[in-house]
Every structure is written in C-alpha cells, then in structure tokens.
Chain A
Amino acid sequence: MSDTSQRLSEIVNNSDVVLFMKGTPLFPQCGFSSRAVAILEHCGVAFDSVDVLQDMEIRQGIKEFSDWPTIPQLYVKGEFVGGSDIMMEMYEAGELQALMDEAQVAKAS
C-alpha cells in the first residue's frame, strides 16, 4: 500500500462520515461539492471534510483509492458511497438517510 493510500485509509476509517470535496463546507469551491455538503446537512449528520485542493496527493490519490474519477466523494464507515449525483439520488429515495441510520452515525450538533 502506498503512503497516500495508507493515509486515505486512515482518514476514511477514523471518522464515520467523511466528504472529500473542493473547498470547505462553509466555502465550497465547486457546485458539486456545495451540493454534497447541502445533502449531508439535510441528513442532519456530523461529518468531517477533506479539502482536496489543499493536497495534490490526496486529490489524485482519492480517485485511485475509490476508482472514481470525480470529486466530491462520500465515505460512510470506511465504505465509498458515491459522488454528489448518487448522494442526491439516494437522498431523494430516502436511502441515504437509511444508510446513516443503519450505520448509527452521530447527528450534527
């Protein structure tokens, strides 16, 4: 395992919900990342975010780690869930909320 994938593995396993995004939840730098943050806020769950624009290794590495070409990317309990389109489809179907309930993730404070 490369250093980057080791780092990514630690990041996704060290918190229940992690969003890799461009920018921060307060200042998203891309419409897709902004939408992903809004969906998680609607779900009412606590989440950590990683700004890939601050770290080129993470930005490139996460695409290989998940075999997914775009950012944002959502992980719950170490499992890759999808990008913002999948998050939206799941949210509209009630599946994302169900996944969060099942995973028993912490609510946003």
Chain B
Amino acid sequence: MAMAADDIEAMIRSALPDAVIEITDLAGDGDHYAARVTSAAFAGKSRIAQHRMVFDALGGRMGGALHALQLTTAVPN
C-alpha cells in the first residue's frame, strides 16, 4: 500500500504547479514521509486550508495508502 516519493510529488504538483516540493523518506521504507510544500497558492489561507489543499491533491490517499506523511506548508518569501 506504500507510495513512491515521486508519485506523491507528482500528485501535489498537478494541483499546485508552482510548488516547491521537498520529500524526505523518513524511515527509508517507502511508507513514512515528510513533505515540505511551498506555494504562492497558500497565501492568505489558514494552516488548515493549506493542508486540505495538499490532501485534496493526494486524492483521498491521506490516512489510507499514504499512512504517514508529515506535512509542512509555506508561502514563498
């Protein structure tokens, strides 16, 4: 049920084309990731709304196929 880092990045990028995306495979097991997503699309949005935009990009996989994704969102400086 694991997902490849490239797939996660591609899904986020399809929804947020301008995003700078850094994905770290935390445990080296293809199942526990950290993602830092920086996008101008987050400007003016609450943290909850920013995270929901990424969850939406992942099409319902959060909490399912994607068990562990530590997510940080930011607006570019």
Contacts and interface: CB of A to CB of B under 8 A. Distances in A.
User: Do chains A and B stick together as partners?
Assistant: yes
A69 B70 CA distance: 13
A62 to B, nearest CB: 11
Interface string B30-62: 000000000000000001100110010000101
Nearest to A70: B63
Tell me if B's interface is mostly helix, strand, loop or mixed.
mixed
* Interface size range on A against B: 10 to 19
B47 A31 contact: no
A69 B47 contact: no
Contacts of A89: 47, 72
Interface of B: 47-48, 51-52, 55, 60, 62-64, 68, 70-72
Interface of A: 31-32, 63, 67-71, 80, 82-83, 85-86, 89-90
